[in-house]
Structure 1
Amino acid sequence: MNWLLVLAGGMLGAPLRYLTDRAVQSRHTTGFPWGTFTANMTGSLLLGFLTGAALSSHAMLFLATGLCGALTTYSTFSYETLTLSRTGAGVHTIANALGSVLAGLGAAYVGLALAQSLLG
């Protein structure tokens, strides 16, 4: 049963990540991976909010593990950072690596604080 919840959430999160990436990236001509960055920050914010909302374990499997797990992508972030590095885009490489980690933590914290202020 639990794996079905994760699967269902992932079936929503994966296309949402792809569509977010394509929509954002189509509006930028820089070499920076804004689409992945946006999907990861959105997922981090949502995961922080869900954590603060103290939902049931079934809801967390569906929303946090499934949806947010598929929406955010460490593998694409890693690949894009490596690609930036290989192409000599040093500033973009550092900005993506540090910015993603720091902004992701910040987004999760904001989501948690938002949930606590709205729901608690």
Structure 2
Amino acid sequence: MTLGRLLLVMLGGMLGTAARLGIGFLVPDAAGIPLATLAVNVLGALLIGVLAARLPFDGLRGRWKDMRVFLATGILGGFTTYSAFAVGTVELWASAPPAAAAYAALILGLGIAAAALGMRLGRPRSRARASR
């Protein structure tokens, strides 16, 4: 990784983390369930799926690779949060183990589904299919 790409990740991470905090202020927990964490992780998985389909890392060069690093690793890496998901689940487990298990299954299932949907939505369409 070059110094320039490291700086892009740092800048993107700062922006993504600030966006996550903003959503945390707007979306309160409900009955101890961290809804903001659920929202940012599912939305982030969807957007990373779109980027993965639109900008596959192995085929990128130059500015496009920089853009992928800035958006996916930086912004969306800072926006999504595995650690808050893990801590929120453990905290919920202390008072409501069934709810914690359901929350963990829900966030993982929705995250995987969102990433798959994002990759499907982001997949470039051929001109022949797009004109139908």
Taking structure 2 as the reference length, what is the TM-score of the superposition?
Answer: 0.82
Structure 2: distance between partners of 1:21 and 1:43: 14
Structure 1: distance between partners of 2:114 and 2:85: 16
Question: Structure 2 matches for 1:22-41, cutoff 5 A?
Answer: 22-25=25-28, 29-41=30-42
Instruction: Name the amino acid aligned to 2:33.
Output: F
Instruction: Supply the RMSD in Å over aligned alpha carbons.
Output: 1.3
**Identity over aligned residues, as a percent?**
35
Does 1:92 find its partner at 2:80?
Answer: no
Instruction: Name the amino acid aligned to 2:6.
Output: W
Change (3 A) 1:22 1:92: farther
Partner of 1:108: 115
Deviations 1:71-115 (A, max 9, x none): 00000000000001112x122201211111111000001111011
Does 1:83 find its partner at 2:91?
Answer: yes
Partner of 1:14: 17
Partner of 2:8: 5
How many pairs does the alignment contain? 115
Does 1:65 find its partner at 2:107?
Answer: no
Deviations 1:17-62 (A, max 9, x none): 011122111xx54221111100111110110001111262111110
Does 1:53 find its partner at 2:54?
Answer: yes
SS in 2 for 1:32: coil
Contact 1:17–1:71 at 8 Å: present in 2 too? yes
Contact 1:9–1:62 at 8 Å: present in 2 too? yes
Name stretches of at least 5 consecutive residues in structure 2 with no aligned partner.
57-63, 126-132
Structure 1: distance between partners of 2:79 and 2:111: 13
Give runs of ≥4 in structure 1 deviating > 3 Å. none
Partner of 1:43: 44
